[in-house]
């Protein structure tokens, strides 16, 4: 039997968010607040950068010290803006990645700076293809610099690079990266959306991932994997699901990821469009309260 959950890391897109909305459902919001009120540390773990994730969580009565693991683990801050950890992708590595991966798809640099120029691309027309919705949502942060390498001359803090394109093309790009000298000098995290034939490779500082950030956060809180739950739906969630002692995969995850979950005995939640996160958290809270009420004790 698992120990009580003390820390839960929750992905955003495809997990906490519905498929066709950028608003967290009321039931999911209530479940997040209830978990916090019960003493569970609720962390968000997303591939989005902080400025693209935090507004979704504000104005919902959530704690200001809620940890946000963003850019797939490259940056961790609280919802209130307190910095917790930060990693930088070396400029020389980023230049090498441009030369290697430019021909595979849309390249994007993410910098840790507010406002326009936080995201840098070199071809706006190319971005208007598969990731047009992303480009529209992030238009105030996007700057066009050609060639992309010139963005590195500004001396800003580069968090990550990203290349996006069709599924098969991105798998080719991932193989090319692993076969190149740059494969050992960065981490590569893949996210796939088969229905849209869209795949994203996030290229991060070595050792950076959602799972690594979750381990760091748990250690900071004095907690272990057995007390940690992770909820996700995509391949960039895999290492945090593997580390957490209580992993949960969404029903809308890919068939391959759900098959892996069954093989490992991981739990499955209802889909993101059926408030799967709330269903899981409500069950966690019900299990916590039953023995406490029986013992007449409501302490953690």
pLDDT tens string 202-235: 999 999 999 999 999 999 999 999 999 999 999 9
So what's the pLDDT on residue 190? 94
Q: Is residue 1 domain-resident?
A: no
Final residue of a domain: which of 204, 233, 263?
A: 204
So what's the pLDDT on residue 155? 79
So what's the pLDDT on residue 295? 37
DSSP 182-219: GGGSSEEEEEEEGGGTEEEEEEESTT-SHHHHHHHHHH
pLDDT tens string 146-197: 999 999 998 778 999 999 999 999 999 999 999 999 999 999 999 999 988 9
So what's the pLDDT on residue 296? 36
Q: Is residue 272 domain-resident?
A: yes
So what's the pLDDT on residue 135? 87
Side-chain half-sphere exposure of 114, counting CA atoms within 13 A: 1
240 band by pLDDT with thresholds 50, 70 and 90: very high
What is the domain-level CATH number for residue 134?
3.30.1240.10
Give the sign of the dihedral formed by CA 90, CA 238, CA 41, CA 31: positive
So what's the pLDDT on residue 290? 63
The residue written with tokens 């394109």 in the block is 165
Do residues 246 and 2 make contact, with C-beta atoms less than 8 angstroms apart? yes
The two beta strands, 67-70 and 41-45, are: parallel
- 26 pLDDT more than 80: yes
Percent residues over pLDDT 70 in the chain? 95
Q: How many domains does the chain have?
A: 2
* Whether pTM exceeds 0.85: yes
The two beta strands, 228-232 and 246-250, are: parallel
Mean pLDDT of all residues in 2-12: 96
* Residues 56, 146 share a domain: no
Q: Is residue 2 domain-resident?
A: no
* Residues 242, 258 share a domain: yes
* Residues 183, 95 share a domain: yes
What is the domain-level CATH number for residue 268?
3.40.50.1000
Final residue of a domain: which of 176, 204, 232?
A: 204
Containing domain of residue 172, as a range? 91-204
Average pLDDT over all residues of the chain: 93
pLDDT tens string 71-120: 999 999 999 999 999 999 999 999 999 999 999 999 999 998 889 999 99
* Residues 269, 286 share a domain: yes
* Residues 190, 120 share a domain: yes
- 292 pLDDT more than 60: no
Final residue of a domain: which of 155, 180, 204?
A: 204
Do residues 277 and 10 make contact, with C-beta atoms less than 8 angstroms apart? yes
* Residues 104, 29 share a domain: no
**CA torsion, points 184, 162, 199, 261, in degrees to nearest 10?**
60
The whole-angstrom separation of Cα 60 and Cα 167 is: 35
- 287 pLDDT more than 60: yes
* Residues 65, 142 share a domain: no
- 293 pLDDT more than 80: no
């Amino acid at each position: 039997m698992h120990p009580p959950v003390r820390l839960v890391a929750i992905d955003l897109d495809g997990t906490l968010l519905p498929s066709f909305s950028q608003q967290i459902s009321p039931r999911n919001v209530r479940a997040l607040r209830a978990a916090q009120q019960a003493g569970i540390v609720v962390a968000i773990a997303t591939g989005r950068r902080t400025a693209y994730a935090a507004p979704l969580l504000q104005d919902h009565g959530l704690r200001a010290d809620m940890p946000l693991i963003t850019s797939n683990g490259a940056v961790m801050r609280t919802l209130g803006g307190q910095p917790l950890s930060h990693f930088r992708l070396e400029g020389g590595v980023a230049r090498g990645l441009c030369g290697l991966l430019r021909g595979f798809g849309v390249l994007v640099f993410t910098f840790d700076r507010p406002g326009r120029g936080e995201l840098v691309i070199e071809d706006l027309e190319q971005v208007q293809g598969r990731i047009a919705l992303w480009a529209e949502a992030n238009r105030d942060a996007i700057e066009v610099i050609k060639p992309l390498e010139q963005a590195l001359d500004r001396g800003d803090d580069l968090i990550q690079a990203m290349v996006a394109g069709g599924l098969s093309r991105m798998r080719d790009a991932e193989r090319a990266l692993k076969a190149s000298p740059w494969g050992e000098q960065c981490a590569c995290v893949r996210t796939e959306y088969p229905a849209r034939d869209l795949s994203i490779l996030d290229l991060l500082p070595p050792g950076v991932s959602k799972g690594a950030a979750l381990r760091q956060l748990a250690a900071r809180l004095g907690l272990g994997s057995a007390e940690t739950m992770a909820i996700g739906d995509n391949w960039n969630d895999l290492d945090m699901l593997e580390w957490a002692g209580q992993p949960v995969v969404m029903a809308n995850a890919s068939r391959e990821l759900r098959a892996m979950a069954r093989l490992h005995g991981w739990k499955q939640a209802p889909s993101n469009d059926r408030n799967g996160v709330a269903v899981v958290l409500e069950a966690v809270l019900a299990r916590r309260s039953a023995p406490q009420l029986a013992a007449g004790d409501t302490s953690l």
